[in-house]
Structure 1
Amino acid sequence: MSEQAVRKVVENYIEGTFTANTDMLKGVFHPDAIMTGYMGPDLMIANPTPFIEDVGSKPAMKESGDPYKAEITNLQVTGNIAEATVYETGFFGDGKLEDHFHLLKDANGDWKIISKCFTTL
């Protein structure tokens, strides 16, 4: 049951990114979540808000470049914590990314992303 719930959160992240559904994206992150990683050579450290705003301004499913695709390549649940890896291609047209997510079950029993570490490939 927990693995299905975690998978659903990650799938909602993917769908929200693909469709630029900012409400869906806000719903998958814990209020204290952090995002860290590299867009090319640039290190980014922030909460998810700038990412969500950027996705909302230009959907990943834009018509130019490769179509957006994302695949969960790893998912592991241990008690009230989980990790997942997502490989994305066609992000904003041409980008390739690998995301490493950490999730936890919050006080309400809902799974939320608490951290995302990413890099362009």
Structure 2
Amino acid sequence: MKLSLIIAWLLSFPLSGHAQNVKDMKTYPTPETEIRNVIENYYFKGIYEGNTELLKKAFYKGALLFGDVDGVPYFKTAEKYIEGVGNRVSPQKSGKDFKAIILSIEVINSIAVAKLQVRMYDFNYYNFITFNHIDGKWFIVNKTLTNVPL
């Protein structure tokens, strides 16, 4: 008897009256999703195609690049780096293998660090890319790199 009353009471409430309209529900990308987009669609694609316009969308104007390539110190401004990418034969046009993967992304507030591996030509680069959220967008503000022989 009690069970019947409880069921009757529960069925007396309208099922659709307070439900959220799924059509009106908005989803917002997470910072990690936005950073992945910059890496995959601007940085990796820009390097692979030699597309300087894509790279300019990824890098903050004053970004700096540091590291070493086969033990030789490496330093460039983002502007010089992007210019160099535009002046070389791209991996896409060279027909050589290109493999780029995101190993990790860590986000804290408006900063983030991504660890990447980029294999192209005869290089096996590891990159640590620092991002900053500026004017509503994630930009690469610093890149460090090293080549690790295969």
- Settle same-fold status: TM greater than 0.5: yes
Q: How far, CA to CA, are the matches of 1:95 and 1:70 in structure 2?
A: 12
Aligned length: 117
Q: Which amino acid aligns with 2:31?
A: S
Q: TM-score, normalised by structure 1?
A: 0.90
Contact 2:61 2:79 in 1 (8 A): no
1:60 aligned residue: 91
Task: Specify the alignment match of 2:71 in structure 1.
Answer: 41
Q: Which residue is equivalent to 1:16? A: 46
Q: Unaligned regions of 5+ residues in structure 1, if any?
A: none
Q: Do the aligned residues in 1 keep the contact of 2:49 with 2:93 (CA within 8 Å)?
A: no
Alignment equivalent of 1:95, drawn from 120, 123, 127: 123
Alpha-carbon distance in structure 2 between the residues aligned to 1:52 and 1:68: 18
Structure having the larger proportion of residues in strand: 1
**Could you list the runs of 4 or more consecutive aligned residues of structure 1 that deviate by over 6 angstroms after TM superposition?**
none
Higher relative contact order (CA 8 A, sep 6+): 1
The gaps in structure 2 that reach 5 residues or longer are 1-29
Identity of aligned residues (%): 26
Per-residue CA deviation, residues 13-52 of structure 1 (Å, 9 max, x unaligned), is 0110001110100111111211001121211222112221
Relative to its length, the structure with more helix (as a share) is 2
> What is the TM-score normalised by the length of structure 2?
0.73
Equivalent residue, structure 2, for 1:119: 146
